[in-house]
């Protein structure tokens, strides 16, 4: 029998469709730096963190960079993304699932988006009060697939990692959840399809957050 006490949600591609905002903000700063990559290149790195994505983009473009350059571009990217929150929408079923979970389990948001982005968008979408804890990229040294963001979330919640379940849309996120010794629900609402996610052996595979009863049964009944 599962003893789930906390549910930890990823943000980008899991609770919210942030693809346009993320891609536009990255392409703006990368383009100005003379680095050209495809939108898909960026989409498939959503969740690993801003600096890491910029770094991998420069490597793809065979361009030189240093830490100061990465810091400056990351700061500019976040500023642009903050200005694009109006084009971000919650996925269907997200708010309803959060509402159903509230009071039945502790809830955390664990995202590799910057704190400025999160602090602006959560109130706009009227979901701030659902989260007991919010952990952003600003508090994390090692991006996914390192489990740090989930371990920090569990620690702040005061819950043993083995009593947590993570909801994720990326292979990096599923790997991070597994490395943190947490259960994982995978949803193909981001850049990765069902087959790619299933290869990572999530504990539950769903098609969308609208499958509320399946999700709740897994969390609270171990089914």
From 12, 17, 146, 169, active-site residue: 12
Residue 39 annotated to the active site: no
Residue 10 annotated to the active site: yes
From 10, 17, 146, 169, active-site residue: 10
CA dihedral 91→96→99→105, nearest 10 degrees, is -80
- Cα(40)–Cα(4) distance, integer angstroms: 35
- The residues carrying an active-site annotation are 10, 12
């Amino acid at each position: 029998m599962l003893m789930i006490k906390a549910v930890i949600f990823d943000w980008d591609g899991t609770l919210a469709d942030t693809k346009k905002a993320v891609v536009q903000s990255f392409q703006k700063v990368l383009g100005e730096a003379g680095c050209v990559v495809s939108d898909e290149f960026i989409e498939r790195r959503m969740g690993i963190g801003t600096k890491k994505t910029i770094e991998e983009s420069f490597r793809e473009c065979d361009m030189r960079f240093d830490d100061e350059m990465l810091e400056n571009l990351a700061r500019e990217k976040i500023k642009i993304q903050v200005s694009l929150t109006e084009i971000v929408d919650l996925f269907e079923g997200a708010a309803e699932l959060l509402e159903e979970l509230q009071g039945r389990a502790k809830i955390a948001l664990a995202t590799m988006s910057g704190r400025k982005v999160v602090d602006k968008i959560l109130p706009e979408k009227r979901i701030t009060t659902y989260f007991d804890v919010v952990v952003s990229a600003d508090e994390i040294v090692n991006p996914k697939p390192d489990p740090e963001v989930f371990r920090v979330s569990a620690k702040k919640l005061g819950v043993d990692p083995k009593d947590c379940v993570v909801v994720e849309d990326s292979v990096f996120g599923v790997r991070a959840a597994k490395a943190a010794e947490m259960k994982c629900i995978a949803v193909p609402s981001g850049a990765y399809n069902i087959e790619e996610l299933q290869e990572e052996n999530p504990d539950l595979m769903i098609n969308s957050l609208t499958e509320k009863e399946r999700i709740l049964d897994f969390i609270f009944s171990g089914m």
